[in-house]
Each structure stands twice: as structure tokens, then as C-alpha cells.
């Protein structure tokens, strides 16, 4: 159910096995002030899955819609809180799963495994645990409200109300995944929605800076290759000048060599410009990386975003 995350989290917030039985991870509390906001919708219980054929889904719910829904983080924050209250799951955990699975709706799949939507449910799992949380008659994994509530329900069904590690493990059966989700949830919990927004903006800047470095490096390699190729041709032309027996042949070869030397000069200038562009991109990346390591962020955030 997981999309790959580009950064490895270095925080060590979990003690022992991620599957160990026990109380919820310390530091996670439910948002007591959040109201359901969907009181007119009768939400399904987390104790039993949907009966076969009991929910309506989009005709092609395994494929993305023509215009995928996008929501600002402020709206998602309300959803995380409301769904968390409805099913007894900390909002920070829902936010972390949302981030890791689809980058807050930016990468909704289908994944290589076939997972779809805001919270990356496998189609068969969605049919069992999907929720029509907005009351439109359709349980849609591509709809943020339906997907977030379904994720909260699924985590609760797996025991997340009393052991959040166990619930997250059911979402993806890997201890490293549990650690990644709960570490990120802890970071979000320390700073609330403000830090969640700040981190997402900073992550975007880091990603843009990294892409620009890669692009600038590719352009430099291409420019260097072009310059090298032109220099090789130029050297061959100058060799012909030296080898020409007749003055007329020598003069003709010199003209061609001089003209080609102009192309070499242009290629060298292009290489220099590409090198300067790469240096600028590397400088921008260094600045973004330094920002990610600023003391105003929670400890471990730089590692979280691959900036450490």
C-alpha cells in the first residue's frame, strides 16, 4: 500500500519491536476539539468489514479520474482530525500515512502493486473497508474524505485504538514501515499543522533543488560530450593542414579548420555556461539543505527529508 519515500528517517522513537503489544505510542493524543463534521453520515463500524456488494464504488475505481481531487493541507488537517476522532486514531498517524503513501495526494497511483487513491488501498481491501464518508453514495478511494476515513477505520479494525504500532503494521507488514510512519507522526505532532505545512513546502524546495542539480549535470555532460566531439574533428582538420602537399590544398584545409575552430569555441562556451549553471544549482541545493537542518524544526527533520 506504500509509495516509495525518497528519504530515510533517522529518528529512534520506537522502543523494541514495532509489533509489540502494549499501549499506544507515547505523545499521540486524539484531537478532542475536532468535531466529526459528518454527523449526518452513518459511518460503518471498524469491528466488521463491508459485506460483499454493500458499498458502491466508481465504475473504474482502479484507474485515476480525469481530474484527480486536490486539497490544501489545511483542509486535509481537518479531515485527519475528524476521521481520527471518529475511529479513535491519532490524526498525526493519518497524516503520516497520507504523506508516505501518496505525498498528500500528489502521487495517487495506481502503484506498481496496484494500490490506488489518497491512502493507497489495494482494490480488494477497499471493497472490504472502504467508506462513503461524504455521503454522496459512492465509496471512492480517489476522494480524500472517503479515503482518510477508510484508513482510520482500517487502522482501528487492526487494533490501532489500543496499539497504534499494531494498526500501522497491518497497513504494511514491515517493521521499517511502522517506524517510518510513527517517526513522521511524532514530528507532525510536535509542530501541528504549521510545521506540517512548513515541512511540505521545504520538502518541495529540496525536491526541486535536487531535480535542478540532476538536470544541470545532464546538460553539462552533454555539453562536454559535444565539445569533445568537435575538438576531435578539429584536430583531424589541422592534421590535414600539416599533411597537405600542395599550397592550394593547405589553404583550403586551413579555411575548414578555422571555421570548425569557431564551432569548438562555441561548444567550450556552452560547456562553461553549463558548468556555471550546475554550480548555481548545487548552491541552491546546499541552501535548501541547510534550511532543513535549521534548529527551528524538530530534531531529526533534516534526516527525514534526506538533508542530513
Residue with more model confidence, 292 or 130:
130
The answer to whether residue 86 sits within a structural domain is no
The answer to whether residue 153 sits within a structural domain is no
- pLDDT on residue 274: 93
**Mean pLDDT throughout 92-112?**
94
**Mean pLDDT throughout 121-147?**
97
The answer to whether residue 274 sits within a structural domain is yes
The answer to whether residue 33 sits within a structural domain is no
pLDDT exceeds cutoff 80 at 203:
no
Beta-bridge mates of residue 116: 121
- Given a contact cutoff of 8 angstroms between Cβ atoms, the answer to whether 14 and 182 are in contact is yes
The answer to whether residue 214 sits within a structural domain is yes
- pLDDT on residue 293: 60
pLDDT exceeds cutoff 80 at 218:
yes
**Mean pLDDT throughout 68-90?**
94
- pLDDT on residue 47: 96
Out of 12-21, 199-208, 231-240, the most confident range is: 231-240
**Mean pLDDT throughout 21-36?**
47
pLDDT exceeds cutoff 60 at 20:
no
The answer to whether residue 135 sits within a structural domain is no
pLDDT band at 222 (very low <50, low <70, confident <90, very high): very high
pLDDT exceeds cutoff 60 at 4:
no
Count of domains in the chain?
1
The answer to whether residue 236 sits within a structural domain is yes
Using alpha carbons, select from 300, 305, 80 the residue that is nearest to residue 183: 300
The answer to whether residue 215 sits within a structural domain is yes
| pLDDT tens-place string over residues 141-195 | 999 999 999 999 999 999 999 999 999 999 999 999 999 999 889 888 877 667 6
**Mean pLDDT throughout 247-273?**
89
- pLDDT on residue 210: 86
By percentage, how much of the chain surpasses pLDDT 70? 79
| pLDDT tens-place string over residues 276-300 | 999 998 888 888 777 766 544 444 4
By percentage, how much of the chain surpasses pLDDT 90? 55
Segment among 8-22, 100-114, 164-178 with least mean pLDDT: 8-22
Residue with more model confidence, 291 or 13:
291
Q: Which domain holds residue 255?
A: 207-304
Q: What is the DSSP string of the chain?
A: --PPPSS--------S-TT--SSPPTT----TT---S-TTS-PPPSSSPPPTT-S---TTTTS--SS-----HHHHHHHHHHHHHHHT--HHHHHHHHHHHHTTTT-----TT--BTTTTB-HHHHHHH---TTSSS---TTSHHHHHHHHHHHHHHTTTTT-HHHHHHHHSS-HHHHHHHHHHHHHHHHHHHHHHHHHHHHHHHHHHHHHHHHHHHHHHHHHHHHHHHHHHHHHHHHHHHHH--SHHHHHHHHHHHHHHHHHHHHHHHHHHHHHHHHHHHHHHHHHHHHHHT-TTSPTTHHHHTT--
Amino acid at each position: 500500500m506504500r509509495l516509495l519515500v525518497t528519504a530515510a528517517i533517522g529518528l529512534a522513537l520506537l522502543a523494541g519491536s514495532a509489533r509489540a503489544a502494549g499501549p499506544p505510542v507515547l505523545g499521540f493524543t486524539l484531537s478532542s476539539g475536532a468535531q466529526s463534521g459528518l454527523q449526518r453520515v452513518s459511518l460503518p463500524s471498524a469491528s466488521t468489514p463491508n459485506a460483499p456488494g454493500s458499498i458502491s464504488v466508481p465504475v473504474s475505481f482502479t484507474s485515476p479520474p480525469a481530474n484527480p481531487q486536490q486539497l490544501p493541507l489545511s483542509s486535509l488537517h481537518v479531515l485527519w482530525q475528524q476521521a481520527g476522532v471518529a475511529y479513535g486514531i491519532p490524526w498525526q498517524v493519518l497524516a503520516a500515512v497520507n504523506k508516505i503513501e501518496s505525498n498528500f495526494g500528489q502521487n495517487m497511483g495506481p502503484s506498481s502493486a496496484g494500490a490506488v487513491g489518497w491512502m493507497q488501498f489495494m482494490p480488494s481491501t477497499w471493497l472490504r473497508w472502504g467508506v462513503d464518508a461524504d455521503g454522496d453514495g459512492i465509496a471512492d478511494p480517489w476522494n480524500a474524505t472517503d479515503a482518510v476515513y477508510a484508513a482510520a477505520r482500517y487502522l482501528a479494525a487492526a487494533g490501532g485504538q489500543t496499539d497504534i504500532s499494531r494498526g500501522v503494521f497491518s497497513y504494511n507488514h514491515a517493521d521499517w514501515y511502522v517506524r517510518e510512519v510513527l517517526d513522521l507522526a511524532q514530528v507532525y505532532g510536535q509542530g501541528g499543522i504549521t510545521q506540517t505545512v512548513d515541512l511540505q513546502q521545504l520538502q518541495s524546495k529540496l525536491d526541486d533543488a535536487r531535480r535542478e542539480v540532476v538536470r544541470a549535470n545532464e546538460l553539462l555532460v552533454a555539453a562536454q560530450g559535444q565539445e569533445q566531439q568537435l575538438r576531435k574533428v578539429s584536430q583531424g582538420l589541422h592534421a590535414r593542414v600539416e599533411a597537405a602537399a600542395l599550397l592550394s590544398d593547405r589553404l583550403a584545409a586551413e579555411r575548414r579548420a578555422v571555421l570548425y575552430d569557431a564551432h569548438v569555441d562555441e561548444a567550450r562556451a556552452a560547456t562553461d555556461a553549463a558548468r556555471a549553471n550546475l554550480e548555481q544549482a548545487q548552491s541552491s541545493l546546499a541552501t535548501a539543505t541547510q534550511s532543513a537542518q535549521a534548529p527551528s524544526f524538530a530534531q531529526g527533520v533534516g534526516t527525514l527529508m534526506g538533508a542530513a
